[in-house]
Amino acid sequence: MSYAPRPSEFLHCRESQAPRGAVRAGPGLLRRIFDAIFQSRQKQAERMVAAYLERTGGRFTDAIERQLTDRLISGDWRH
């Protein structure tokens, strides 16, 4: 048996209306720090993948894709 709620059973959420001309706050300090760290790690991983592909002759085969995935997950880039 299914149930369909009535419109009166929903809570109405309304965004508070800011006064005109009010400036919206941007992301907080912790969010900006987290985003900067994430972007830095992403760029580092992309550089490592590019260097690994150069060492393998620039080919992107299934075997190389598996090796890259294993290395990205484990963090083992010594080879």
Q: In this structure, is residue 14 part of a structural domain?
A: no
Q: For residue 34, what pLDDT is reported? A: 95
Q: In this structure, is residue 77 part of a structural domain?
A: yes
Q: In this structure, is residue 50 part of a structural domain?
A: yes
Question: What is the radius of gyration, based on Cα positions, of the chain?
Answer: 24
Average pLDDT over residues 26-42: 93
Q: In this structure, is residue 5 part of a structural domain?
A: no
CB 52 within 8 A of CB 77: yes
Residue 22 has pLDDT above 80, yes or no: no
Interatomic CA distance for residues 72 and 2, integer angstroms: 46
Q: For residue 40, what pLDDT is reported? A: 95
Interatomic CA distance for residues 44 and 37, integer angstroms: 11
Q: How many domains does the chain have?
A: 1
Q: In this structure, is residue 22 part of a structural domain?
A: no
Q: In this structure, is residue 7 part of a structural domain?
A: no
Domain that holds residue 64: 28-79
Share of the chain above pLDDT 70, in %: 78
Residue 15 has pLDDT above 60, yes or no: no
To the question of pTM greater than 0.85 for the whole model, the response is no
Residues 6+ away with beta carbon under 8 Å from 56 = 64
Q: In this structure, is residue 15 part of a structural domain?
A: no
Q: What is the mean pLDDT of the chain?
A: 81
Share of the chain above pLDDT 90, in %: 18
